[in-house]
Structure formats: structure tokens, C-alpha cells
Amino acid sequence: MLTIEELEAALPAMTRWRVPGRHSVDWALLEAALGTALPSDFRALAEAYPVLVIDDFLMVSSPAPGAEASWASASREDEILQDLYEMGDTEGYVPFPQPGGLIGWADSNSGDSFYWRTSSPDPDAWPVVVRTDNAEWYEFPVGAVEFLAGVYGGTIDVPGMPGNFPGDFPEVLGLSDRIDGT
């Protein structure tokens, strides 16, 4: 499993958003509301960074201290995934909390969705699943941090993504920048 520092090496523009110390996410509350533990690499990312928007394309959803229950609720009640499942458009993937169900951790402004497949009792063994805006599904045998490092380091290619993804010099913004427009 890759470390945050290895992700920062692949995506150095993110380091300016590192939180001094760490976020105090109440993991016990979040995981009780969600009904499962989360991968340790994602926990480390969420403690070190706010929600990140990479290259004005990919938004990594991190739970904020004090908003753990709402993050868990949004993850359990993924209406788009549920609708796709009910229409039979998930290629056998199922929504969480079904066994092996998908939990979202990122999305793009083009309609791509990034999930974990909860296929193992060990969350650190969950693979990343991507549903592109072209309704294509791809699975990668890595965690979220390794996936991001691979995509932005050029070692993981996600078929079906826009031709300019990832950009040559991806800019990273904190969510507040995107909202405030600064």
C-alpha cells in the first residue's frame, strides 16, 4: 500500500493543501454510521488533506471533522449507483451495503465515478472500481492512494477517460477554492 508521501511525489501540487497536524476525523462514528471500516490509506489521506479537486476534473471526497455522519450517509445512499443497479447497468457490481458492494470515494466533473469494491473483510485489500461517463467499468487491484499516484504518475491508465486526463501539470485546489472561485 502506498503512502501519502508517495502520492505527493506523483502529484506535488497537492502538498500546499496538507493540513498542519492532521484532521481529527471521528472514524469510530463514521464507520459505525457507514457499517464498515475504511481503507487505511484513505484514512491517512483524509486526515492529511481536505476535499481535493485535481485539475478541475477529479474530486476526492474526504470526510470532514464534524461531518462524518453525513459523509457516511451519502456513501450508503448513492442514488446514482442505486439507479444504475436497478436498471441493470452495473456489470454485476452492487451497491453497498450488499456483500462486495461499492462505496464511492471520488467523482469527476464528466460523470465518472470512483469506488471501492468491498470484496474483502480487510478494507486495505479493496480494489478501486471506475465507472466512466461512457458506462464502462474498470477494476484496478490497488487502493485509492496508489490509484491516484499511478494515474498522476503515469503508471495507471484508465480507459475511457478524456484525452487530456491527466494533464501534464495538474493543478490541485482545496474545495473552498472551487466554491469561492479564488
Q: Per residue in 7-61, pLDDT tens?
A: 999 999 999 999 887 778 999 999 999 999 999 999 999 999 988 999 889 999 9
**Amino acid 20: pLDDT:** 85
**Amino acid 56: pLDDT:** 87
- Residue 176 above 70 pLDDT? no
Instruction: Give me the numbers of helices (H) and strands (E) for the chain, helices first please.
Output: 7, 7
- Residue 178 above 80 pLDDT? no
pLDDT band for 164, please (50, 70, 90 cuts).
Answer: confident
Rounded Cα gap, residues 68 and 30, in angstroms: 5
Alpha-carbon distances, residue 36 vs 40, 93, 120, 160 (angstroms) = 12, 18, 11, 30
The whole-chain average pLDDT of the chain stands at 89
pLDDT band for 182, please (50, 70, 90 cuts).
Answer: very low
Nearest to 47 by CA among 26, 32, 33: 26
Quickly count: other Cβ atoms within 10 Å of residue 29's Cβ: 14
**Amino acid 83: pLDDT:** 94
